[in-house]
A and B are shown apart, each in its own frame.
Chain A
Amino acid sequence: MYAYDELDRTLINERVSEFRDQVKRRLSGELTEDEFKMLRLQNGVYLQLHAYMFRVAIPYGTLSSRQLRALARVARRYDRGYGHFTTRQNIQYNWIKLSELPDALADLAEVGIHAMQTSGNNMRNVTSDQWAGVAPGEVEDPRIWSEILRQHTTLHPEFSFLPRKFKIAITASEHDRAAIKVHDIGLRLHKNADGETGFEVLVGGGLGRTPFIAKTIKPFVHGRDILSYVEAILRVYNQYGRRDNIYKARIKILVHELGIEKFAKEVDEEWKQMGHSALTLDHSVIEEVRSRFSYPVYEKLPHMPDELKQAAHDPLFERWRKNSVAPHKVQGYSIVTLSLKPVGGPPGDATADQMDAVADLADKYSFGEIRVGHEQNLVLPHVAKRDLPQLWKALDRIGLATPNVNLVTDIIACPGLDYCSLANARSIPIAQELTRRFANHDTAEMIGRLHINISGCINACGHHHVGHIGILGVEKNGEEFYQITIGGRADENAQMGALIGPAVPYAEVADVIEDIVEAYLALRDRPEELFVDTVKRLGVEPFKERVYATR
């Protein structure tokens, strides 16, 4: 957990009273919408189809039980009793009244949560691995660096009016759970040959209209130099980024147009000129931030407690454990993923009651800590293995023990046309139908790891480009159609999916996905070959044939 300092608390409280005043002036007509729009966006407030949408940051995906209860309270008091966890470690509320927003912000401020920089052309929430600090084999806790970057960039004038929004993600594990290659800057913590800790810096990744996989700009930047190096990148971006054209304004376009070598050279020159010493991080600063993260005092526990041995006889428990429970760096503990993807439910939604119940379970079984991952699931990061059977029963009672993590029904989906004013087509009902089609757990298990990602328009909030199967809503003559891609992935081998053919109408999407999955089952050379690997081996053709031969 991270303890915010006085500065943060003052800042957050000031922002709330400032916004309260701005809302009052908007409602009285003193401010026009044109004047107010920027101000509300700076506080995470968008206007959607049915209402205002309120986006709240969950820095590096870490929440205390107290904070989660505050999120639940906002859902209950000011919204319709639920919230939507997004792919960027935020939560969105869909039905907030502008007149009540200042109160909601004030409630959140009490627990150190805010909505700053969750929209607008600034540095967005710096995201990280949801297993940070507990994953075995991690170089060190990447959140320390997320926090250093967060502090440095929050309300920093140079980063508040960028050509476009800017997103950074950090990982410290071999396996990338933070999707760093589809961010404006991706940082991978590792050690160099001398055993020093630093970052591989990647730049220019992104999804949306023009997707790019980030490229490595520098294989190793020492930890103490990371602020100055990131700042050098941002300065080059600020100078050359296309402010004239919103579709070309992201850094990925600049990197693409200049080429990574030229871009890297510009950054290096800037870095040299800055005489990067001013931003060099003092050891004491890093340690000060590190000291604000508290870690549980773990017990010495057996690797295989009796409770777990006994529970292993229950096949229902076993199938949940197999998909939801991952090894922890400390013996006797586990990392537990809570699926927010029930059969027939909207992906990533949780009710206020569920949030409260998870907060209670976190207190009981996970040292009061909860994480939020980019796959729109929750995580209890420190569960003693002996408690797993009890936890499973408790989760099952609140509908959070669906044993489908990483399986075909663990779908990422954006809000789509049910909520979003930019959408071409609906996302959620497509996801719901797919979860019903693949509801049979044995089938899902046989299919194995398969990520379906759905976006309702080209902005790609649902990460469709990097889904093993990607589904993108488009519009044709006023009807909803969907383009389908296969072979994408978001991990350390990130890649964009390839289009399989013409878009298909709403009513056929689930059939087409079933066809693709059946084709895979027939084509894989052994049960362990994952869907993405079969696509990699065989290309799009056999799938295309299967889907379009009869259509």
Chain B
Amino acid sequence: MTSPLQQKIKITGPSMVTANRTSDGIVIYRTAQQGWSASLSDAAIVRTSDEARALLNEANADDVVAVGAYIAPVELKDGGEIKPGNLRERIRSKGLTIDLLPA
């Protein structure tokens, strides 16, 4: 899971733009309404590298609310459901894969 900072903007499948919220760090997703949402299901989906670049630029312009925006892959399920496209994003959207405390 190469750090997103090292990624060139070239997408190979449906993608979204994600970041962390400046005030508290929580994971947020760029929406199609030029805003942010804590829910992946609200994420704007892009399918070409140009669209991805445009969405990222727009997100980066909003430096006050969000920090560290980058493009990440998603999986689109049949009913239109959006799923994270890799393990890193699964962990970011679902939380830790571990119990916090000893069993």
Contacts and interface: CB of A to CB of B under 8 A. Distances in A.
Interface of A: 26-29, 32-33, 47-52, 80, 82, 95-99, 342-346, 349, 351, 399, 417-419, 421-426, 428-429, 432, 436, 475, 478, 480
B44 interface: no
B27 A50 contact: yes
Contacts of A432: 98
A33 B81 CA distance: 32
A356 to B, nearest CB: 16
B87 A98 contact: no
A29 to B, nearest CB: 4
B14 to A, nearest CB: 15
B97 interface: yes
A80 to B, nearest CB: 7
A417 B87 contact: yes
Given A29-B64, A424-B1, A97 B24 contact: yes
Interface string B1-41: 11100000000000000001011111100000000000000
The residue among A26, A82, A421 with the most chain B CB atoms within 10 A of its own CB is A421
13 contacts: A47-B67, A50-B92, A82-B101, A96-B25, A98-B22, A99-B23, A343-B103, A349-B100, A417-B91, A418-B97, A428-B98, A478-B86, A480-B87
Contact of B25 (A50, A399, A423): A50
Contact of A82 (B2, B25, B97, B100): B100
Given A97-B24, A344-B99, 20 more contacts: A27-B64, A29-B63, A47-B67, A51-B20, A82-B101, A96-B25, A97-B25, A98-B25, A99-B24, A345-B102, A345-B103, A346-B98, A418-B96, A419-B96, A422-B3, A423-B88, A424-B1, A425-B1, A428-B98, A478-B87
Contacts of B3: 421-422
Contacts of B87: 417, 478, 480
A49 B92 contact: yes
A426 B68 contact: no
A544 to B, nearest CB: 28
A71 B85 CA distance: 37
A342 B91 CA distance: 24
Nearest to A418: B96
Contact of A418 (B2, B24, B91): B91
Contact of B102 (A29, A399, A426, A475): A399
Interface of B: 1-3, 20, 22-27, 63-64, 67-68, 86-88, 91-92, 95-103
A50 B24 contact: no
A458 to B, nearest CB: 11
The residue among B2, B97, B101 with the most chain A CB atoms within 10 A of its own CB is B101
Contacts of B86: 478
Contact of A478 (B1, B64, B92, B103): B1
Nearest to B4: A421
Contacts of B2: 475
Nearest to A35: B63
Nearest to A419: B96
A99 B24 CA distance: 7
A12 to B, nearest CB: 24
Given A33-B68, A480-B87, A51 B26 contact: yes
A436 B97 CA distance: 16
A32 B103 contact: no
A425 B4 CA distance: 14
Contacts of A32: 63
Nearest to B67: A33
Nearest to A95: B25
A349 B102 CA distance: 10
A49 B67 contact: no
Contacts of A429: 97-98
A96 B20 CA distance: 13
Contacts of B92: 49-50
A80 B25 contact: no
Nearest to A426: B97
B35 to A, nearest CB: 16
Given A422-B3, A480-B87, A26 B100 contact: no
Nearest to B62: A29
A436 B99 CA distance: 14
A346 B98 CA distance: 8
A343 B23 contact: no
A47 B68 contact: yes
Nearest to B60: A33
Nearest to A48: B25
A356 B67 CA distance: 34
Contacts of A51: 20, 24-26
A352 to B, nearest CB: 12
A194 B99 CA distance: 56
A342 B97 contact: no
B46 to A, nearest CB: 20
Nearest to B26: A51
Given A47-B68, A50-B92, A418 B25 contact: no
A51 B63 CA distance: 16
A440 to B, nearest CB: 15
Contacts of A342: 102
B24 A98 contact: yes
A56 to B, nearest CB: 17
A216 B87 CA distance: 43
B60 to A, nearest CB: 9
Contacts of B20: 47, 50-52
Contacts of B22: 26-27, 33, 98
A159 B25 CA distance: 30
